[in-house]
């Protein structure tokens, strides 16, 4: 087993162990992948101020996200097909998150079901919802999340239509997956993954099959999913979800100040500045460059978080310094899961926390609540173009 010291080590190992079509599903962007690359690259352009002769004892990275205590300002983002990165993947990731002390978000398009996660962890978690044409199915899903003691609902707004992802098309990836000859040959080179999948009964979309009208197996699921993502999604629909749910509502996919204001106006408890990991609108700005203006506009009214491009604890600290009161990680979790299952997710979280904690100390702080944009160069709160010119 190689020595794992950073998220990149986990990515390399995951690429070796996960079948190509599922690895590429998680580790790719739409069209040219320009936005996907910028999400990560723009973090590197932010430079930190090193401070010395500061007492670095008794450090704390603890905070809250929508009232939930967290060990660090990180939650696990919803990622579809997580259970195809590793057998029972959502269960493994949820357990690792619960043990570490951060929230786990289950995707609508997960392999393990809401009920699976509730039974496996015994802990509250978050559930992510897409706006579907079948409102009755949505209402039932929301009720299932309530019964499972989910303590927040994440409504994803930026998937009314699906971006063109060339790798998925070339790999023949569909929902549900239909292995091609090329993919079957690739599976034969992944014995560890195949053995794990042979040992589980969870190989379909657990939140949908048997739970929505007319979907009883994988073949009927394909027709349902192709027509269900609702392109008519509008702000009255957000209000409908808020009313159905009644609890904490997080809106994911905000990239513009105007939409952030509308989110606050329509009852959201938090928003996630997100371009869907560069998987939707290629050519959109990176999430970290979009963050400061949105924080400036609505940060006093609503919790502002971000996701996209986070590969280290330093990235988490930089996002916090620019005003994000929380972050969500997807690929860092997926790499850990694909590499080593639950132990890999736990290792990813340990790495992020250690990097966050040590970097905060080098910047002269012992409490993340006291960290602000003064840790970045230049040492004053700038407009976004002054950081990314």
Is 80 annotated in a binding site? The answer is yes
Is 307 annotated in a binding site? The answer is yes
Is 59 annotated in a binding site? The answer is no
Is 309 annotated in a binding site? The answer is yes
339: Cβ contacts below 8 Å, ≥ 6 apart? 4, 10, 11, 13, 14, 17
Is 140 annotated in a binding site? The answer is no
Termini Cα distance of the chain: 42
Q: Which residues are 154's β-sheet partners?
A: 128, 250
Is 387 annotated in a binding site? The answer is no
| Cα separation, 156 vs 78, whole angstroms | 9
Q: Do 35 and 309 meet the contact criterion of CB atoms below 8 Å apart?
A: no
Q: Do 76 and 103 meet the contact criterion of CB atoms below 8 Å apart?
A: yes
Active site residue 276: yes
Strands 74-76 and 105-106: unpaired
Backbone angles phi, psi at 41, to 5 degrees: -65, -35
191: which 2 tokens? Answer: 């014995």
Is 286 annotated in a binding site? The answer is no
Is 252 annotated in a binding site? The answer is yes
CA of 86: how far to CAs of 82, 116, 126, 202, 302, in Å? 7, 15, 21, 11, 36
242: Cβ contacts below 8 Å, ≥ 6 apart? 249, 266, 267, 268
Q: What is the number of other CB atoms lying within 10 angstroms of the CB of residue 136?
A: 10
Cis peptide before 176 (omega within 30 of 0): yes
Beta strand residue intervals within 44-136, DSSP E: 63-65, 68-70, 74-76, 105-106, 126-130
Active-site annotation holder among 86, 92, 276, 353: 276
| Cα separation, 216 vs 210, whole angstroms | 5
358: Cβ contacts below 8 Å, ≥ 6 apart? 313
Residues annotated in the binding site for FMN, as ranges?
A: 78-80, 107, 128, 130, 156, 252, 274, 307-311, 330-331
Residues annotated in the binding site for glyoxylate, as ranges?
A: 25, 165, 276, 279
Residues annotated in the binding site, as ranges?
A: 25, 78-80, 107, 128, 130, 156, 165, 252, 274, 276, 279, 307-311, 330-331
List active site positions.
276
């Amino acid at each position: 087993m190689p020595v794992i010291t950073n998220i990149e080590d986990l990515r390399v190992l995951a690429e070796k162990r996960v079948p190509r079509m599922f690895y590429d599903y998680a580790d790719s962007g739409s069209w040219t992948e320009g936005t996907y690359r910028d999400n990560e690259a723009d973090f590197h352009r932010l430079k930190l101020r090193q401070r010395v002769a500061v007492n670095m004892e008794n450090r704390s990275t603890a905070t809250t996200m929508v009232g939930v205590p967290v060990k660090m300002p990180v939650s696990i983002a919803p990622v579809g097909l997580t259970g195809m990165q590793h057998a029972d993947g959502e269960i493994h990731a949820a357990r690792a998150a619960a043990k570490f002390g951060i929230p786990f978000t289950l995707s609508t398009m997960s392999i393990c079901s809401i009920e699976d996660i509730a039974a496996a962890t015994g802990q509250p978690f978050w559930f992510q919802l897409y706006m579907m044409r079948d409102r009755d199915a949505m209402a039932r899903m929301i009720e299932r999340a309530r019964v499972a003691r989910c303590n927040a609902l994440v409504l994803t707004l930026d998937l009314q239509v699906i971006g063109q992802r060339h790798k998925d098309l070339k790999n023949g990836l569909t929902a549900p997956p239909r292995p091609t000859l090329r993919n079957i040959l690739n599976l034969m080179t992944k014995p560890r993954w195949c053995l794990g999948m042979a040992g589980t009964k969870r190989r379909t979309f657990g939140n949908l099959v048997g739970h929505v009208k007319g979907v009883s197996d994988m073949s009927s699921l394909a027709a349902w999913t192709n027509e269900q993502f609702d392109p008519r999604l509008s702000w009255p629909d957000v209000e409908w979800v808020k009313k159905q749910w009644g609890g904490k509502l997080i809106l994911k996919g905000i990239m513009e100040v105007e939409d952030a204001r509308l989110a606050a106006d329509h009852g959201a408890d938090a928003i996630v500045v997100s371009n869907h990991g560069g998987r939707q609108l290629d050519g959109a700005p990176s999430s970290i460059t979009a963050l400061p203006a949105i924080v400036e506009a609505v940060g006093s009214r609503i919790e502002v978080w971000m996701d996209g491009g986070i590969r280290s604890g330093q990235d988490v600290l930089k996002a916090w310094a620019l005003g994000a009161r929380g972050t969500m990680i997807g690929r860092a979790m997926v790499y850990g899961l694909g590499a080593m299952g639950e132990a890999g997710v736990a290792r990813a979280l340990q790495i992020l926390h250690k990097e966050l904690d040590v970097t905060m100390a080098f910047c002269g702080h012992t409490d993340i609540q006291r960290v602000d944009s003064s840790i970045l160069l230049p040492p004053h709160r700038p407009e976004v173009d002054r950081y990314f010119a």
